[in-house]
């Protein structure tokens, strides 16, 4: 990431109230004489910044994760920043845009675990409606572009040309990603930079929701704005993070043998478990996970079925799991 401090004059001085002052470059572009009294100022708040000229009153601001506005771009040009650097700033913002619609306000819940931040590949960009192949795949899984910030690397090498990147967010930062390849190779998913204890989807939760739905798979989590442990076992850190939320945790295991492992662990940790009877899909196979259910019943129908089937009593959960085993032919 390119810091605004790298772009303002080296002689800029920081005042006690946090303003970095220097000769304002905007005045001559707004009908005023050149400033020689250091009346231009930038104030920085984390990765965000705001600029104001106390001579010609030109103002602009920039929030990290959003494209540079016209005024912010003009300011950088007036500061002598070249077009290549401006392009890099916009690319970085595109790759790391906050997507507040998907994010938890982590100012209210401080992270208890530290995860290393990673940058997405340089050529990664968000999927648009023009990327027909990738959009069609998402639609086939009951998903839309508005459900999550899905990326692609169309200029990548080999299989990377044909993949969807699903970033991992934590505390508003990217801490890894999953590649979902759309070719015919048996290796369909590749988790990159998956860090111990990480839970996918916490940043999608609203602090006012009374419950959190926890699944195994990432697409399951995205399908219902839930969370994913990304395997069929809980780590101690994951259990602590879920309990810290203060919500009812409803675990929806895949309806297969690995899913049973997660379900029985959920019982031991005092979590609720839901095993809806979703019946069969169009191919006559038992619907085994949330994403398959969404493809069949839609998001609302699937959510209602999960809430309706959830059990909190250990004995009732065990009975529900036995019924699930019979339906799915699990031995």
Q: Which of 31-35, 113-117, 247-251 has the lowest mean pLDDT?
A: 113-117
Q: Which residue has the higher pLDDT, 304 or 92?
A: 304
User: Which helix (H) or strand (E) is 169 found in, with range?
Assistant: strand 163-170
Q: How far apart are CA 164 and CA 58, in angstroms?
A: 42
Q: Among residues 191, 203, 221, which one has the least CA distance to residue 99?
A: 203
E strand or H helix at 125: strand 125-126
- CA pair distance 114, 108, nearest whole angstrom: 16
Q: How confident is the model at residue 268 (pLDDT cuts 50, 70, 90)?
A: very high
Question: Residues in the chain, how many?
Answer: 331
Q: What is the chain's mean pLDDT, rounded?
A: 88
Long-range contacts of 236-242 (CB under 8 A, 24+ apart): 236/197, 237/113, 237/196, 237/197, 238/197, 238/198, 238/199, 239/269, 240/112, 241/112, 241/113, 241/197, 241/199, 241/202, 242/199, 242/212, 242/214, 242/271
Distance CA 157, CA 176 (A): 20
Q: At what angle do helices 257-268 and 314-328 cross, to 10 degrees?
A: 180
DSSP codes of every residue in 43-112: EEETTEEEEEETTT--EEEE-TTSPPPHHHHHHHHHTT--HHHHHHHHHHHHHT---GGG---TTTS--S
Give which of 65, 248, 27 is closest to 169, Cα–Cα.
65
Domain boundaries, the chain: 4-95, 100-328
Q: Find the mean pLDDT for residues 77-95.
A: 82
| pLDDT computed for residue 66 by the predictor | 76
For position 112, what pLDDT does the model report? 52
Work out the average pLDDT over 74-81: 92
pTM over the 0.85 mark = no
Residue 107 binned pLDDT confidence (cut-offs 50, 70, 90) = very low
Chain segment 164-221, per-residue pLDDT in tens: 999 999 887 899 999 999 988 778 999 999 899 999 999 888 888 899 999 999 999 9
Helix (H, G, I), strand (E, B) or coil at 192: strand
Q: Could you tell me the strand order of the sheet in which 272-274 lies?
A: 227-228, 211-215, 248-251, 272-274, 310-311
Q: Is the pLDDT of residue 98 over 50?
A: no
d(CA 86, CA 118): 21
pLDDT of residue 99: 46
Percent of the chain with pLDDT over 90: 62
**What dotted CATH number matches 100-328?**
3.40.1360.10
Q: pLDDT by residue (tens digit) across 130-140? A: 999 999 999 99
Q: Is the pLDDT of residue 104 over 50?
A: no
237, 193, 199, 244: which is closest to 218 by C-alpha?
Answer: 199
- What value does the CA radius of gyration of the chain take, rounded to a whole number of Å? 24
**Token duo for residue 259:** 């899913």
pLDDT of 110 > 70? The answer is no
- Region 301-325: mean pLDDT is 95
**Residue 65: per-residue pLDDT:** 74
Question: Is a pLDDT exceeding 90 seen at residue 95?
Answer: no
Contacting residues for 121 by C-beta, under 8 A, at least 6 apart: 153, 156, 160, 165
- The pLDDT of 244-258, averaged and rounded, is 94
């Amino acid at each position: 990431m390119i810091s605004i401090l790298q772009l303002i004059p080296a002689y800029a001085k920081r005042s006690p109230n946090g303003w970095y002052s220097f000769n304002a470059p905007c005045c001559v572009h707004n009908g005023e004489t050149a400033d020689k009294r250091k009346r231009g100022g930038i104030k920085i708040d984390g990765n965000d910044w705001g600029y104001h000229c106390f001579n010609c009153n030109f103002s602009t601001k920039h929030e990290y994760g959003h494209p540079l506005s016209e005024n912010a771009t003009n300011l950088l040009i007036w500061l002598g920043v070249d077009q290549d650097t401006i392009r890099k700033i916009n690319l970085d913002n595109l790759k790391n845009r906050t997507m507040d619609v998907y994010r938890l306000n982590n100012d209210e819940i401080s992270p208890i675990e530290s995860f290393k931040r990673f940058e997405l590949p340089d050529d990664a960009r968000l999927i648009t409606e023009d990327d027909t192949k990738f959009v069609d795949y998402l639609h086939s899984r009951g998903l839309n572009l508005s459900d999550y910030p899905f990326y692609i690397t169309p200029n990548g090498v080999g299989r990377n040309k044909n993949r969807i990147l699903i970033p991992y967010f934590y505390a508003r930062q990217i801490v890894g990603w999953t590649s979902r390849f759309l070719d015919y190779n048996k290796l369909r998913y590749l988790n990159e930079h998956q860090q111990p204890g990480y839970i996918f989807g916490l940043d999608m939760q609203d602090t006012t929701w009374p419950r959190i739905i926890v699944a195994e798979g990432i697409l399951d989590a995205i399908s219902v704005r839930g969370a994913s442990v990304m395997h069929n076992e809980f780590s101690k850190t994951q259990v602590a993070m879920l309990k810290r939320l203060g919500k009812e945790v409803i675990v929806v295991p895949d309806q297969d043998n690995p899913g049973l492992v997660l379900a029985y662990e959920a019982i031991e940790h005092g979590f609720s478990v839901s095993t809806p009877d979703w019946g069969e899909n169009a191919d006559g196979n038992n619907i085994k996970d949330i994403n398959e259910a969404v493809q069949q019943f839609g998001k609302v129908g699937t959510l209602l079925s999960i809430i309706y089937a959830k059990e909190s009593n250990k004995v009732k959960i065990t009975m529900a799991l036995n019924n699930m085993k019979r339906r799915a032919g699990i031995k």
